[in-house]
Chain A
Amino acid sequence: MKNWTLKGLAAGKVTTKWPASGENDGQDKVLGFPTFHPQDCRPACRECILKCPTRAFSTKTGVNDEESVALDYGRCINCQICVASCPTTALQSSSNLTFASKSRQDLVVDEGVNSRENDELRSRVSSIFKGSLHVRHVDAGSCNGCESELQALCNPFYNLHRLGIFFTPSPRFADVLLVTGPVVPQMKGPLLRTYEAMPRPRFVIAGGTCPISGAPFDMGYSGGSGLEIHLPVDISIPGCPPTPAAFIHGLLLLTDRINQRLHGGGYEQ
């Protein structure tokens, strides 16, 4: 008979100190969102627009009628195809992953909107949950990648409970609804019923690129176009899937325990 208690004690502490201190967020060598500097684009080059499988790039017309390229991280699935297709250095791979944002606009490069302000009342309400936050997860059609990473949050390395954040079995005692998947037609009803069952105040997190924009499943008879048309979204965490560290960053951002790093599509190192 194995003595698991002794075995566990002998293994010692394995939990990362991140984000309180240290750099060990478990993301070493993970390729993150590409960095994009449209000023380095070749004139009239449309390679990224043609190659991107999720239509994350688009053209926009500036004040002098000149066209430039915009990138929406809310449609980006970190597939790195654009980086490989870019003939200049405008698009480069990066290790930047913690892209959680309070505003959908902040996910767009070159949108010209820098929405640092947010609803002060909501912010005051959400900081009440700094010490303890209860999360109800709903899978609205995900590939199980996001679930796998959310389950990883409870492993000894990330140990989400140390941050006072818990998953609840029922929406009745949840503060946050964390949605994964593009919201496919057959999940719309169960999702809205879960939200209705939550006590107020309640918050909504779009966890992953799917619930932000539906990409790459925003087509066909049974795709979805994301959460925003169904529910008010407080935090968007892009990624395919977001790494556990990106999920933690988003959950802490909701209660203002950590700073947003992405503003108007630009990432603070």
Chain B
Amino acid sequence: MGTLVKAQVAASQLLNEARSLLEEGCRFQMAYLRYMGPVPEIVYLVDRGPNLEFLELTVRAETELPSLSDLVPLLSWYEREIMDLSDIIFTGNPEPFPLVLLEGMALTSLPFDPTSKEILQLFGDTTPPQLPEVLATQVQDLFWGPVRGDVLETGEFHFAYIGEEILHYTPRLFYKHRGIEQDLQQQDPESGVILAERVSGVGTICHGLAYCLAVEDALRLDVPRRAQLLRVILAEMERIYNNLHFFSMLSKTTTLKVGEAFGALLEERAKQINAQLTGHRFLRNALAVGGLRRDLNVDILPTMLSNLQRDAIDYLDSLSVTQSYLDRLIGTGTLSADVAFDFGATGPVAHGSGIKRDLRVHHPYSMYERLSLEIPVRTGGDALARSQVRGEALISAFDLIRQATELLEPEEIAAASPTSQPELADGLGWTEGPRGSCFYAVRIRNGLLERVKIKSASFSNWKVFPLTVHSSNMMDYAINEASFGLTIAGADR
């Protein structure tokens, strides 16, 4: 089965087409700019439902296109990114401010435009952002960041608040924008995996694997079963250490110091197991297009993981009977199912709000269809619900590794090289990482990457997060943020 069906739509029919797709129960996943020769087009990726091919809807980009953000709010950030990096305007976008390129910065030419002859550079210095006007008296403004306390990723957060109550919250990300999508252009598809693994350090596998799957889809490579199963083991190892980190941070923000230390120590143990397995604490340098770079010594896993699992269960059990911790999570940062769906929540954030969607089950890849997996779901939509689905995902990762190990048979771990290469090939790859869905769309022309689009889980969840902060209180902010388990590197790219 292919991964994509393609359709073209005229700009004048775009809104109608979007409306009818929504009525059919489809969900938009992302939108991006791509050039077909000198002609720019906007590509919308649409999930048509479990086990169906994704729909790639393209519209020839004119200087002005109707914004779909009113119908599909999750598309707003994609439209803003396209507006930043091209001269296309989406009329009717409800927040037409800079997103990826911050105020004060400018480009010498357009990043994806093949007709541009200028040397491409980003220059300037960041200036204060445009913010919504808050019409109330005695409102205080707090800018937090871009350099924050502790060891944290760069991001700037604006709070408009009265006393304890936050009236409005605006995250300003993309300080860390590295332009990786453009870096990948004109690279050889095999070496692109090195950069894909470095889009997000703690998402090495979900990014690296989605990239490999996309290239393999474009080049029609058959990955040997053993390599597919070993990739599942890598992906679930990533889920384990990320979720242990999550509980450590949640304990930290609820001032449960010993709980924080326990979580951090368990995460350290998981990273040391990663090193034993692959030679790298973040599981880097194992993936390759077509399979893996080398076979993995999985014999060490059963003992190490059963000890870690026992201690992780004991840790989660202890947290679940700690009243001071639970009290801070119950009712904090409530996200309704409707808002989660419309604004694009993914992974544990969606699962905590009752949305039962998981790419490992609904669009299985890398032999997940051979493994038995329950999607954890809660309907509360609060920090407690998000932590509970994370806890279940953590425990089920151990089980998935066990299942995958049992299916392993001695075999090759790399696909045979393709005999012939088409002049033009498109591919789509996706993974369900610890934070949710990650998509890579690639176009390969004459053996080189022409366009790579990256959609990280956190890009989706950052869009949703502010909606749970408005009208909440300052005391709960850090807990709410920790309960979303966001990263910035993948979102900024």
Contacts and interface: CB of A to CB of B under 8 A. Distances in A.
A4 B258 contact: yes
Interface string A1-42: 110110110010010000000000011111100000000000
Interface in B192-214: 194-195, 198-202, 204
Contacts of B195: 53, 216
Given A142-B201, A144-B489, A221-B179, A2 B322 contact: yes
A1 to B, nearest CB: 6
A263 interface: no
A181 interface: yes
Interface stretch (B117-125, B223-231, B383-391): B117-125
B41 to A, nearest CB: 21
A156 B264 contact: yes
A90 interface: no
Contacts of B318: 2, 4, 7
Interface in A26-80: 26-31, 53, 77-80
A30 B280 contact: yes
A163 interface: no
Interface in B373-421: none
B154 to A, nearest CB: 4
B424 interface: no
A170 B182 CA distance: 34
A79 B178 contact: no
Interface stretch (B270-278, B349-357, B358-366, B444-452): B270-278
A257 to B, nearest CB: 21
A187 to B, nearest CB: 6
Most buried by B among A28, A138, A156, A222: A222
A208 to B, nearest CB: 10
A182 B322 CA distance: 42
B177 to A, nearest CB: 5
A185 B105 contact: yes
Contacts of A147: 151-153, 201
Contact of B258 (A5, A145, A149, A217): A5
A229 interface: no
A155 B279 contact: no
A154 B111 CA distance: 40
Contacts of B107: 221
Contacts of B175: 141, 184, 186-187, 190
Contact of A30 (B101, B122, B279, B321): B279
A87 interface: no
A167 interface: yes
A116 to B, nearest CB: 31
Interface residues of A, number: 67
A1 B245 CA distance: 23
Contacts of A157: 265, 268
B201 A79 contact: no
Interface in B158-186: 174-180, 182-183
Interface in A101-152: 136-152
Dominant secondary structure at the A interface: loop
B35 interface: no
A237 B304 CA distance: 31
A145 B148 CA distance: 17
A164 interface: no
B313 to A, nearest CB: 14
B176 A181 contact: yes
A194 interface: yes
Given A8-B261, A145-B282, A147-B153, A30 B275 contact: yes
A152 B150 CA distance: 12
B201 A187 contact: no
Contact of A221 (B111, B321, B323): B111
A211 interface: no
A217 B489 CA distance: 13
B321 to A, nearest CB: 5
A129 B280 CA distance: 32
Interface in B440-493: 487-490
Contact of A79 (B126, B174, B264, B285): B285
Nearest to B259: A4
B234 interface: no
Given A1-B323, A30-B280, A216 B488 contact: no
Contact of A220 (B179, B200, B262): B179
A188 B245 CA distance: 29
B125 A31 contact: no
A185 B123 CA distance: 6
A81 B193 CA distance: 12
B149 interface: yes
B56 interface: no
Contact of A145 (B122, B149, B201): B201
Contacts of B2: none
Contact of B151 (A80, A167, A194, A219): A167
Contacts of B293: 80, 84
B154 A140 contact: yes
B117 to A, nearest CB: 15
A241 interface: yes
A192 to B, nearest CB: 9
Contacts of A26: 268, 272
Interface in A200-257: 216-217, 219-223, 240-241, 243
13 contacts: A4-B259, A26-B272, A30-B281, A77-B198, A142-B153, A149-B281, A150-B151, A152-B271, A169-B150, A185-B122, A187-B175, A221-B122, A240-B284
Given A1-B323, A220-B179, A221-B182, 8 more contacts: A2-B321, A2-B322, A31-B285, A143-B200, A184-B178, A186-B126, A220-B180, A220-B182
Interface of A: 1-2, 4-5, 7-8, 11, 14, 26-31, 53, 77-81, 84, 136-152, 154-158, 167, 169-171, 181-182, 184-190, 194, 216-217, 219-223, 240-241, 243
Interface of B: 101-102, 105, 107-108, 111, 120-126, 146-154, 174-180, 182-183, 191, 194-195, 198-202, 204, 245, 256-259, 261-262, 264-265, 267-268, 271-272, 275-276, 279-282, 284-285, 293, 318-319, 321-323, 487-490
